[in-house]
A and B are shown apart, each in its own frame.
Chain A
Amino acid sequence: MRTIAIKMLFGDTAKFYGILLGLSFATLLIAQQASIFVGLMSRTYALIEETPQADLWVTDPTMQFVDDTKPMQVTALQRVRSVDGVGWAVPLFKGLLVAKLPSGARQICDVVGVDDASLIGVPARMIKGDVSVLRKPDTIIIETRGARSRLAQPINPANPTGPKRPIEIGEELELNERRAVIGGIAETKPTFQNVPTIYTTYSRAIGFAPANRRTLSMILVKAAPGVSVTELRDRIARETELAVYTPDDFAWTTITYWMTQTGIPINFGIAIALGFLVGVAIAGQMFYNFTLDNLKYFGAMKAMGATTARLLGLVALQGAVAGVLGLGLGLGVTSIVGLAIPGDKLAFKMTWHIPVIAAAAVIFIVVASSLFSMRRVVKLDPSEVFQG
């Protein structure tokens, strides 16, 4: 009987495709918008992910998220280093600076200055060159995405708006009237601000930056062997009165800022809710109509000895099949769209939670519409089959 129930579903082509389209579209909207939201949020803490060596991040207490740099006095570094249990502590500079490109154009760049001695904070994946180039004078490392896009140079210098080529090693930028030579190109995770990132040493970075008494953006800390990271976090915070985060805490603090202080979640939430409503409106309504259309056959079955539970099982099966197909198709299209858009243009990150959320939404739509349909089946009077 299950086969017949499924054939009934597939056989009503117009309604079946309507249900499938509704569920797929709802899944697509929910999963795609949620994936872009997660992708965007994950970009907000890209710097933290790019610096896996640090156990703890120390910042000014008023700093709200990773890009919200509130420079500290350089003495903060010594205070942190003096805390018992600190293995090492290194400075990090982070700030937005205007770079003058070889073509004469200007571009805002995110400059990251890493510890001169250890170079902790430099991206691990170098595409061209080596991190050791930073030991040469005036040298910087740029990331490949910026090299190909915002820092790209016109092929014909006489035509600055014409076709462009990626900027290369050996070419020079000007940062705050100071020469910066590209010594390497690295692969990094895309950032939320989507401006080119420049890596250099801490001392060179503060030289590029406008003069400021406070230059220390963050301090990266490694716990000494055998020292509990959480205990060390609490101890540093207590003794220095600075904010101290584990990488996960810092990432969540950053996400929380964007979630609570911007309209991003509301906008995405509206899109996701619309997807859900589309599913309810189209698929739910279609499935309900499909059951109504088949009510006379269910009535005949009831007359022929089908128990209500048996009929409800058939309706539930039809709903489940439609739900699984709609969900699968929707997630498939979402994944293809996510993978098909080249490069980092689309902040797309489908974590395992997203298919689960989409599945929950589809299950809700299918169960709700099935329950409405089932209500009609339960109330169905089998004697109605004799009424034409």
Chain B
Amino acid sequence: MIEPTNSIVCNEVFKTFGVGDSMVRALRGVNLQVRFGEMMALVGPSGCGKTTLISILAGLLQRDEGELAVLGTDPSALSNHERTIWRGKNVGFIFQQFNLIPQVSILENVAVPLLLRHHPKRDALDRAAKLLEEVGLKGRELTRPSKLSGGQQQRVAIARALVTGPRLLVCDEPTSALDGATGQKVMGLIRELTAAAERVVIVVTHDERIYHFADRIAHLDDGRVTHVSTPAEALAESAERMGDAAKRH
């Protein structure tokens, strides 16, 4: 049942890669609901299906089976071209490695999603400049990405992700390339800038130090969502696991 307050609904979503002996079942019946205005963290061990799940939610991959609704649309039911257009209108991306184009200024980098959609250049650059101001990079608009620290580059990536005003923001390990303090600042900024009733943020992370920024934590293992918890519960579970491990040693 898809409730109108849910921005994302996954019912028994399956995804398999390859065929025959090389077949890998990446998702084995994922069930997940994410509400509008919520920041949901996806956590779990490597290979549990986190990346596959966000790729399907963001319309980069298609599910094989199951029921899926993202912002009221099943992106897997769209054609490749329609899905591309849908992504451009609805999804913002923050990547682990920033993926900023090194040869152009950060202002132009932020404007790229608008320019790709044939937005007027002047307006795109104005909007990019405004967002750079919001992420604290005013005055550095013409700087190349390589001249910035990792934290600053991720701020540029945040501005780029938000420049089209997406309703779904997908963050893939946004702090893994940053030191702890910078990671906290970056997540604080994401939380601050994305807080909106009509927006949903999905964060894939291994970094327990940023759990508290999320509203809820979805735990994945072996291609399924095993349970959903609050950040406090997730941290308690983690501490318990660490304690058990220490006792065993």
Contacts and interface: CB of A to CB of B under 8 A. Distances in A.
Interface of A: 1, 3-4, 7-8, 10-12, 294, 296-297, 299-308, 310, 381-383, 385-388
Contacts of A385: 60, 93, 95, 99, 172
Given A7-B108, A310-B116, A305 B99 contact: no
Nearest to A13: B103
13 contacts: A4-B115, A11-B104, A299-B99, A300-B99, A301-B112, A304-B116, A306-B116, A307-B81, A307-B85, A386-B51, A386-B54, A387-B51, A388-B97
B150 interface: no
Interface of B: 51, 54-55, 58, 60-61, 81, 84-85, 87-89, 91, 93, 95-97, 99, 101-104, 108, 112-113, 115-117, 121, 164, 172, 204
A153 B91 CA distance: 86
A304 B51 contact: no
Contacts of A388: 96-97
B39 to A, nearest CB: 18
Contacts of A301: 112, 116
A386 B60 contact: yes
Contact of A383 (B60, B96, B101): B60
Given A10-B103, A385-B99, A303 B87 contact: yes
B116 A303 contact: no
A305 B80 CA distance: 11
Contacts of B96: 386, 388
A293 B96 CA distance: 18
B112 A304 contact: yes
A7 B101 CA distance: 10
A307 B87 CA distance: 10
Tell me the interface secondary structure of chain A in the complex.
helix
Contacts of A300: 93, 95, 99
Contacts of A307: 81, 84-85
Contact of A11 (B60, B89, B99, B102): B102
Contacts of A310: 116
A14 B31 CA distance: 50
B108 A305 contact: no
B155 to A, nearest CB: 17
B104 A7 contact: yes
Given A386-B54, A387-B51, A11 B116 contact: no
